[in-house]
Amino acid sequence: MTAYIIRRLLLLPLIIFGVTLIVFSMMQLLGTDKLVTAYIPQSQIDRMTDEQIESVKERYGLNDPLPLRYINWLGKTLSGDLGWSIVGKQPTLTAILQRVPYTIELALYAIVPIIFVGIWLGIKSAVNHNSFIDNFIRIFALVGYSLPDFVFGLIILMIFYGVLGWFPPGNLSLWADQAVSSDSFNTITHLISIDALLNGRFDIFWDALRHIIAPVITLAYLWWAFLLRITRSAMLEVMKKDYIRTARAKGLSEKVVINKHARRNALIPVTTVAGSMIIGLFIGTVFVETIFNRTGLGRFVADAATQLDYSSIMGSLLFYSMILVIGNLIIDILYAVIDPRIRLE
Amino acid sequence: MNKEELKRTLKKLFGNTGAIIGFILLGFFIVIAIIAPYIAPPDIPQDMDLEQANKLIEDYEPSNKEEILSAFESFQQFNLGFYMQDYPIVKEVYESLKEFDKGNISLEEAKMSLQKLTNYYIVDISLLEQIETDPNAVISDVEKVYKKYKDYNEKGKVVKEELEELRTLEGDDFLKKAKSMYNDFHDFYIDSIDFDPFIMPKESLENAPQPPSREYPFGLSNGRNIYYGVVWGTRTAFQIGFSVVAFATFVGLLVGSIAAYFGGWVDEILMRITDIFLSIPFILSAMVLTTVLGTGIDKVMIAMMTFTWMSTARLIRGNILQAKNEQYVLAARALGVPDWKIIIVHILPNTIFPVIIQATMRIGTMVITASGLSFLGLGAPQGYADWGSILSFARNWMLGGGENAFQYWYTIVFPGTAMVLFVLGWNLVGDALRDIFDPKNRM
């Protein structure tokens, strides 16, 4: 097991090196003329003469040979200098870090219903195998599987905001936003709803909740489809096992058999996907945040991409990749600790 | 797979309700994609002279002959005649620029010559400045212009001869010749104006959505005809789905087989490269690469192809490694069959099904991703017939519509339904295939 962990840790720098190489190559596809816009705003470039642009290129080393530029870029990136973000009007790293809590908050609120309802539906479906309930849940899952989040998000927005007016888009209402940014409001965790509770402002907490429900529903449906499928097939597998038959033969009630014997075993494969689900949830907020007009990393990338803000998109891409790489590493090591069978693979 | 097994498989496939629904859905979309030009005819711009001639040909009377001829002549004059007129100048300038390239004449003389073209607005005036700094680019620009003029000049001469010939014909012969000339001219006209049927026609200058009506069955969104976009969007979806998945599967197969076949260092390097590509979240890598490459549906496809081959590579490598220890492979090896032949003839046919199933299920995902990118405004050009583009119009009306948002339901429902059914079809077929070829279910 130690050997496995050491091998994984040794590979980590290699993977990170490879990722930076890919990101750097993508930047080079732009060509030096466009790369200048990563340093100087387009409006300024339009007013510059060719000689001035050339001197800018010279100053930022855009005319150096490629390997040298890569090393310089890598050095700057490792020291946290990701360039200037046009969308955020601040350094890219600051812009990214400032938006992370919003995305974390969304993912946190989404994970609870996803796990509980998803597993519940999966077990319900497996226990009533081939019945009406099972078929209904399976169709529910199939539709969720085929429904893109931007379509479902738009429908939710239309119904819950347009028709019913319950869940408005955005992060907070105007008055709550002003209250949060005022001096009397202490920012502790950067998660608005929790900060509101800590400050004793239940009205703000309620307002934040109202804004987060619609995106959470959108995210949840798509992940339910995923999770309930895994739970269902794991549960069906377990129900065929000999020890379930033994438990039934002993005369245990169906409830005890399912809750005590079957469910616990069926949840093992579910735990193996839980980790990657959390990462996926954090990464997959681009569309939800864009549709519901929420501040967050996902919308930051989308805005940066549409406004051709190259330093922001490259910085975010690196950031997301690091989350994925390090998150996967932690998950794999944790599972290796929990389940010795994995180490052999 | 022998005959008996194939029969059993097909029986299972068509006994599966999901698979049948899936096939029906896909069949429906294939039919829509094929008949798109008929059920949503593109609004091709018309040339007035040509249409006039066509109308006269259709209700032909001997007395119309002169009118038809004059309509053709005026078409020839407008579309080719001007090129024929200017051709000598273009030719002269091009030749003098070539002399300049060889160093036979001075920059001043070349500029004087080039000025003739700018005076006639044949080339842009900026070329006069550009020739000082980058003469090669200017020469290649002028060469392109020259070639076009040369082609049109020749075409114009041919057309003139044909017209003369037409003038001598009478009755049925005349009609036949006139019809075929009309078709030729029509094709030439469409070619020359660079028309793209995938761009949704702008029916109204008003951006606010307009509800479905007899004329626009699915309504208008940002002035674009939704019905047209949904119908032509099926073509876009198939194009994206098939080309991206086919490419990704091919590269994946290649990388995976090479890694498994050579093993050792090659395997290690290829699999680490695969790991690195897998470390970048797919939706974001596709987004960023599309942004970098610029606008165009082909750019979206390239971006997605670059980041989708990895899972196939892993899958096929794992399968080959597993199959390496199977009895039939050991037997083949004992018989002295070369390794590459073992892989292609023995291992791949037995391990290809998971790859096919994976490919089927991924077509839907690829279409969703591409539509998602155009939903964000990346990739597909303005007004491109793509389901995601139509949805992106809807977003503003949902956010800005407030209480009235529901009245714009048609901007979401029609393209959304098309997308969901398309993806559902592929998922159902993929699910059914997986159930059938799952080794646990196999007899």
Amino acid identity for residue B131 in this structure: I
- Residues B307, B435 within the same domain: yes
- Dump the DSSP string for A164-230: S--S-SSSS-HHHHHHHHSTTSPPSSS-HHHHHHHTT-HHHHHHHHHHHHHHHHHHHHHHHHHHHHH
Residues B293 and B186 in one domain: no
Residues B236, B237, B242, B244, CA torsion sign: positive
b/e B105-129 (16+ beta carbons within 10 angstroms → b): beeeebbebbebbbeeebbeeebee
Q: Are residues B138 and B258 in the same domain?
A: no
For residue B201, being part of any structural domain is answered with: no
Cβ within 8 Å, pair A162-B368: no
Whole-number Cα distances in Å, B309 to B109, B304, B378: 56, 9, 22
Tell me which chain B residue has its CA closest to the CA of residue A279.
B281
Residues 6+ apart with CB under 8 A from B359: B245, B246, B248, B249, B312
Q: Are residues B275 and B152 in the same domain?
A: no
- State the pLDDT at residue B302: 93
Q: Which residue in the set A18, A142, A148 is minimally distant from B276, CB to CB?
A: A18
Per the domain annotation, does B298 fall within a domain? yes
Same domain? For B220 and B144 the reply is no
- State the pLDDT at residue B443: 38
Last residue of a domain, one of B192, B227, B249: B192
B244 close to A285: Cβ distance less than 8 angstroms: no
Question: Considering only alpha carbons, which residue of chain B is nearest residue A155?
Answer: B412
Contact flag B376-A302 (C-beta cutoff 8 Å): yes
- Are residues B271 and B125 part of one domain? no
Nearest to A163 among B279, B288, B406 (CB): B406
A310 CB neighbours in chain B (<8 A) are 291-292
Q: How many domains are there within chain B? A: 2
CB contact under 8 A, A313 and B287: yes
Backbone conformation region of residue A109, classed left if phi is above 0, alpha if psi is from -120 to 50, else beta: alpha
* Distance, CA of B223 to CA of B205 (rounded, Å): 6
* Nearest CA-CA partner of B33 in B432, B425, B299: B425
Q: Are A296 and A103 in contact (CB under 8 A)?
A: yes
Chain A nearest-CA residue for B362: A146
- Specify whether B109 is located in the same domain as B240: no
CB contact under 8 Å between A316 and B284, yes or no, is yes
Taking each helix axis as running N to C, give the angle between helix B17-39 and helix B3-14, from 0 to 180 degrees, rounded to the nearest 10: 80
Task: Please indicate if any CB of chain B lies within 8 Å of the CB of A277.
Answer: no
CA distance B217 to B119: 49
**Per-residue pLDDT tens digits for B163-176:** 787 777 777 777 77
B281 → closest Cβ in A15, A313, A320: A320
pLDDT of residue B401: 63
C-alpha distances out from residue B229 to B223, B287, B398, B411, Å: 12, 23, 19, 11
CA R_g for chain B: 30
Contact A308 B375 (CB under 8 A): no
Interchain proximity B391–A142, CB inside 8 Å = no
Q: Look at residue A340 in the predicted model and tell me its pLDDT.
A: 65
What global pTM score does this model have?
0.83
For residue B202, tell me if it sits in a domain: no
- The crossing angle, in degrees rounded to 10, of helices A149-156 and B348-375 is 40
Spatial contact of A91 and A82, defined as CB atoms under 8 Å apart: yes
- Cα separation of A237 and A231, whole Å? 10
Both B186 and B286 in a single domain? no
Nearest-CA residue of chain A relative to B413? A155
Q: With beta carbons under 8 A apart, name residues in chain A contacting B423.
A: 146-148
Q: Reduce the DSSP state of residue B295 to 3 states and report it.
A: coil
Cβ atoms within 10 Å of A276's Cβ, excluding its own: 13
Residue to test with chain B: of A35, A140, A150, most B Cβ within 10 A: A150
Best to test chain B binding among A14, A20, A22, A27 (most B CBs inside 10 Å)? A22
Instruction: Give me the residues of A, 122-151, that contact B with CB < 8 A.
Output: 142-143, 145-148, 150-151
- Does residue B271 share a domain with residue B149? no
Comparing alpha-carbon positions, the chain A residue that sits nearest to B273 is A18
Choose among B272, B378, B399: nearest Cβ to A14: B272
Domain-embedded: residue B173: yes
Say which of B279, B283, B398 has its CB closest to residue A158.
B398
- Decide if A177 contacts A171 (C-beta within 8 A): yes
A18, A142, A151 member nearest B419 (Cβ): A151
Q: For B110-119, which contacts have Cβ atoms below 8 Å and span 24 or more sequence positions? A: B110/B135, B114/B138, B114/B142, B116/B89, B116/B92, B117/B89, B117/B90, B117/B93, B117/B142, B117/B145
Q: Which H or E run includes B164?
A: helix B135-168
Please give, rounded to a whole number of angstroms, the shortest distance from the CA of A324 to a CA of chain B: 6
Residues B276 and B412 in one domain: yes
A 6-65: CB under 8 A from B? 11, 14-15, 18-19, 21-22, 26-27, 29-30
Considering only the beta carbons, identify the residue of B280, B391, B399 that sits closest to A169.
Answer: B399
Residue A59: exposure state from Cβ atoms within 10 A (0-12, 13-18, ≥19): exposed
CATH of the domain at B366: 1.10.3720.10
Cβ contact B288–A313 (<8 Å): yes
Which positions ≥6 away from A327 have C-beta within 8 Å?
A: A275, A278, A279
Q: A316 to chain B: which residues are within 8 Å by CB?
A: 284
Cβ atoms of B304 and B362 closer than 8 Å = no
Enter the tokens of residue B267: 């395997």
The 8-class DSSP code of residue A36 comes to G
Domain of B303, in residue numbers: 3-40+210-442
> Is residue B200 a part of any domain in this protein?
no
pLDDT in tens, chain A (345 residues): 778 888 888 889 999 999 999 999 988 888 777 777 777 777 777 777 777 777 877 777 777 788 888 888 888 888 888 888 888 888 889 899 989 999 999 999 999 899 999 999 998 898 888 889 988 998 898 888 889 989 999 888 888 887 787 888 888 877 877 777 777 777 777 888 888 888 878 888 888 888 899 999 999 998 998 888 888 888 888 888 888 888 888 888 888 888 888 888 888 778 878 888 888 898 889 999 998 888 889 999 999 988 888 888 889 999 999 999 999 888 888 887 776 665 544
Let me know whether B19 and B75 are in one domain: no
In this structure, the answer to whether residues B311 and B364 fall within a common structural domain is yes
- The full set of domains in chain A, from first to last, is 1-89 (no CATH), 92-342 (1.10.3720.10)
Quick check: B151 and B159 in contact, CB under 8 A? no
* Cβ-based contacts of B371 with chain A (< 8 Å): 148, 150
**Mutation for testing the B interface, residue in A7, A154, A226 having most B CBs under 10 Å:** A154
**Are residues B406 and A148, on separate chains, in Cβ contact within 8 Å?**
no
**B256 assigned to some structural domain:** yes
Give chain B's residues under pLDDT 70: 1-2, 193-194, 400-403, 438-443
Looking at chain A, how many residues does it have?
A: 345
- Verify whether the Cβ–Cβ distance A27 to B292 is below 8 Å: yes
Q: Does residue B24 lie in a domain region?
A: yes
Q: Is residue B88 part of a domain?
A: yes
